[in-house]
Amino acid sequence: MTKDHRSLIAGNWKMYKGPSEAAAFCAELREADLGDVDVVVCPPYASLETAVRSLADTEIGVFAQNCHWEREGAYTGEVSAPMLQELGVYGTIIGHSERRQYFGETDESVGRRVAAALAAGLHVIACVGETEAQREAGETEDVLRRQLAVLEADDNLLIAYEPVWAIGTGKTATPETAQEAHAFIKSLLDLPVLYGGSVKPENAAELAAQPDIDGALVGGASLDVESFGTICRAASDS
Ligand code: PEP
């Protein structure tokens, strides 16, 4: 099925690739065949400036992995939207499940971060998704409803559906399971929805072929230009 808009493939590098590795990766990425999709990379803060510089004059965007709601202040360890923009960063991920699981991110703080980033003019990928226990207890829709309740539709906002049980585990949601969740999300908020959770070259095409899957947020497989490029081309052909 051909979609009426380009898919977006975002590579979440998590806490991998300092500036020198980032520069080498971006130099390789510039030369890669990425097909006809929008592509962004999300390096750790320390490598954002390098990535922006290395990818200047390409169509590949650079996103951060988080962003605080205040412009400045006594918030040790945090970074604000104006600071990211000064570096040339185009957008940010917010509410990744690793932030929720390990760093106390809540629906409320996700809502504040998203609103501030959008108000400052950044594009945002807001992540939602249920844990394995929540899915098994039949709570998936309730969890998604609660996580989405803090968000409002915006032209610069995308949702990433990332079932927590599929992130970094090698367990991917079946295309049907992902499609069902994406359709549910769109029934609540009419926005593009990326799928995330062990997307790899082998499963990217069948996921991208689902009518309500508008791209992918890729973790592990985005750290290698060859596998990331293969995922981009697979989505491009779907
Ligand atoms: C992610 O980091 O958003 C992610 C989906 O990771 P992985 O692709 O490694 O499961």
Lookup: tokens for 57: 């004059």
Please determine, for residue 92, whether its predicted confidence score (pLDDT) is greater than 80. yes
How much is the average pLDDT of 76-91? 98
Active site residue 96: yes
The residue whose CA is least distant from atom 7 of ligand 1 is 219
Please indicate whether residue 167, judged by its CB atom, sits closer than 6 Å to ligand 1.
yes
- pLDDT score of 3: 63
* pTM for the whole structure: 0.96
The Cα 150–Cα 107 span in angstroms is 7
**Strand 61-64 relative to strand 157-161: parallel, antiparallel, unpaired?**
unpaired
The confidence score (pLDDT) of residue 1 equals 41
In this structure, the strands spanning 193-196 and 91-94 are unpaired
Cα angle, residue 221 at apex, residues 157 and 90 outer, rounded to 5°: 30
What pLDDT, on the 0 to 100 scale, is given for residue 28? Answer: 98
**Mean pLDDT to the nearest integer, 110-131:** 98
Higher pLDDT, 1 or 197: 197
- With a 6 Å cutoff on the Cβ, whether 217 touches ligand 1 is yes
Residue 211 has pLDDT above 70, yes or no: yes
The single residue of 98, 105, 130, 162 carrying the catalytic annotation is: 162
Which one is catalytic: 68, 96, 123, 182?
96
The string of pLDDT tens digits covering residues 152-191 is: 999 999 999 999 999 888 888 899 999 999 999 999 999 9
Does residue 147 carry a pLDDT above 90? yes
Helix (H, G, I), strand (E, B) or coil at 217: strand
Query: Average pLDDT in the 7-33 region?
Result: 98
Average pLDDT over residues 66-91: 98
Q: What whole-number distance in Å separates Cα of residue 132 and Cα of residue 44?
A: 27
Q: In the predicted model, what is the mean pLDDT of the chain?
A: 96
* Chain CA centroid to CA 57, Å: 22
Tens digits of residue pLDDT in 104-115: 999 999 999 999
Residue 225 in 3-state DSSP? Answer: helix
**In the predicted model, is pLDDT for residue 124 greater than 50?**
yes
Quick one: what percent of the chain has pLDDT higher than 70?
98
pLDDT of residue 108: 98
Is 176 catalytic? The answer is: no
Query: Residue 181: CB within 6 Å of ligand 1?
Result: no
Q: What is the pLDDT of residue 171?
A: 83
Q: How far is the CA of 89 from the centre of ligand 1 (A)?
A: 21
Q: Is the dihedral of CA 203, 208, 211, 216 positive or negative?
A: positive
Helix 48-55 with 19-31: angle, nearest 10 deg: 20
